[in-house]
Chain A
Amino acid sequence: MDFDLMFTSFPKLLSASVITLKLLSVSLILGMFLGLFFAILRMNKNIFINKFAYGYSYVFRGTPLLVQIFIIYFGLGQIEYLRSTFLWVILKEPYWCAIIAFALNTGAYTSEILRSAFQTIKPGIIEAGKSLGISNKIIFYKIQIPIAIRQSLPAYGNEIILMMKGTSLASTVTLMDLTGVAKYIISTTFKPIEVFIVAGGIYLFMTFLIHNLIKYLEKKYSFQ
């Protein structure tokens, strides 16, 4: 055990975890909107819209995140047309490519979580709203969405943790996040166990925080 290395690598890894958290939070916020959008499309009666939303979630849940990042980072740059548009400003940055891939990926999972939450809402609640003379739109925004979000909290907590682990893949497209820095230190010092303990500890601490945050939210918004 090389404790010196552990002490010297800790601040480096800690500052790298800021990038991990940034990637996580931005992609979660974007993914939340994507997920809500596609969950609403999934409930559409039009079969084409429905199938489109299903196809989106099927493709992104059925392929590895690594493939998705590589397609966006290495693949999209190949299209000549894209290079001339303003999108290229975003797509040439590995940071934004990673975020796009993460957001699309977590959006697919989130849409599934929200869809099943919408389906478990008791019809009586919607009927109660209708009998009070509330318009369909307001029932949807003020009754269905809040209940669905509360219902999906436990599953969404798991998704946040999975996504936090997913951000480690950003290191494959040259981003120096927590895993990227950990790999750099391992490959220069050849002391994998020490670095794994420190980096793994930071990841576990973040998992612990997310877990407790979700638990707190579940308690706060529980149905009495």
Chain B
Amino acid sequence: MELLAFGKTGWGDELFYATLMTIAVSVTAMFIGFFFALIFTPLKLSKYKSLNLIGNVYTTVIRGVPELLVIYLLFFGGSGAIMYVASIFGYFEYIEINAFITGSMAIGIISGAYSTEVFRGAIQSIDKGQFEAAKVLGLSKFVQFYKIILPQMLRLSIPNLSNVWQITLKDTSLISVTGLIEIMRQSYIAAGSTRDPLFFYSFAAVLYLLLTYLSMKLINRLEAKYSRGY
């Protein structure tokens, strides 16, 4: 137990901050994912074959390739790509990107592919009559989407988004390979310096279980709240 003490003697406070970092990365990645989903869902639902293709390539490639490979691509390629762009504007110094940004970007791209599929499914399962009724009422395209389609889409996608959240939360453990101090990395450091890997990795597992358990409780409440009247 003294291994988990707060302060200089134990790893309690370090692991606490690492847990906060995991939550921060997961939430950031989830929002980056929503941003990607916002771009790619319309592409997947578009009438045009070429736009469809772009959306399909994104979701198929990201969902078919291991997360670790995407993280390595961004970790090793990210600063190179930014430096290339910067060199066009005449800046030739070495640019190092923050591990937090690389990590949440990588996980965000992955969770975006899953979110896209969730939103696509949700929109497709909305009754056709809703679209037609919105059109008949003479609402503008924006109001149609914002006031009629979006609220229904969000309600329908809550159960599946909770799965995406669980996947995202668990995927953040993979960015420990880039050196960002989150639960997994901190446990690795603690296990290395105390030679007690079994304890620290098991404790990491408990932390993850706690996070998934608490978020499940929260999401179930949200779901109950938004499905009133159905």
Contacts and interface: CB of A to CB of B under 8 A. Distances in A.
Genuine A/B complex: yes
Interface of A: 58-59, 62-68, 70-71, 74-79, 161, 164-169, 171-172, 179, 182-183, 186-187, 190, 192-193, 196, 199-200, 203-204, 207-208
Interface in B150-209: 166, 170-171, 173-174, 176-177, 184, 187-188, 191, 195-198, 201-202, 204-205, 208-209
Contacts of B133: none
19 contacts: A62-B209, A63-B209, A64-B170, A65-B170, A66-B176, A67-B204, A67-B205, A68-B205, A71-B202, A79-B198, A166-B66, A169-B68, A172-B177, A179-B66, A182-B69, A186-B76, A190-B80, A196-B77, A203-B65
Contacts of A74: 191, 197-198, 201
A166 B32 CA distance: 23
Given A58-B209, A168-B67, A192-B72, 9 more contacts: A64-B173, A67-B184, A75-B198, A76-B198, A77-B197, A78-B195, A78-B198, A183-B72, A196-B77
Contacts of B64: 161, 165, 200, 203-204, 207-208
Given A64-B170, A78-B198, A190-B80, A71 B176 contact: no
Nearest to A183: B72
B20 interface: no
B131 interface: no
Given A161-B64, A207-B64, A179 B69 contact: yes
B216 to A, nearest CB: 9
Interface string B71-95: 0110011001000000000000000
Nearest to B197: A74
Contacts of B73: 192-193, 196
Main secondary structure of the interface of B (DSSP, over half): helix
B226 interface: no
Contacts of A190: 76, 80
Nearest to A77: B197
B6 interface: no
Nearest to A70: B201
Contacts of B17: none
A62, A64, A71, A193 — most chain B CB neighbours (10 Å)? A64
A165 to B, nearest CB: 4
Interface of B: 60-61, 63-69, 72-73, 76-77, 80, 166, 170-171, 173-174, 176-177, 184, 187-188, 191, 195-198, 201-202, 204-205, 208-209, 212-213
A71 B191 CA distance: 11
Q: Which 5 A/B pairs are nearest by Cβ-Cβ distance? A: A168-B66, A75-B198, A192-B77, A64-B173, A74-B197
Given A70-B197, A192-B72, A204 B60 contact: yes
Contacts of B174: 64, 66, 169
Given A64-B208, A196-B73, A71 B198 contact: yes
B208 to A, nearest CB: 5
A172 B187 CA distance: 15
A66 B68 CA distance: 11
B38 to A, nearest CB: 24
Contacts of B68: 168-169, 171-172, 179
B66 A203 contact: yes
A172 B208 CA distance: 19
A59 B209 contact: yes
Given A63-B208, A64-B173, A165-B65, A182 B72 contact: yes
Contact of B205 (A59, A79, A204): A59
A192 B201 CA distance: 30
A62 B213 contact: yes
Given A64-B173, A172-B177, A186-B76, A75 B184 contact: no
B213 A204 contact: no
Contacts of A59: 205, 209
Given A192-B80, A193-B73, A193-B77, A165 B177 contact: no
Contacts of B61: 200, 204
Given A62-B213, A64-B171, A192-B73, A204 B65 contact: yes
A186 B72 contact: yes
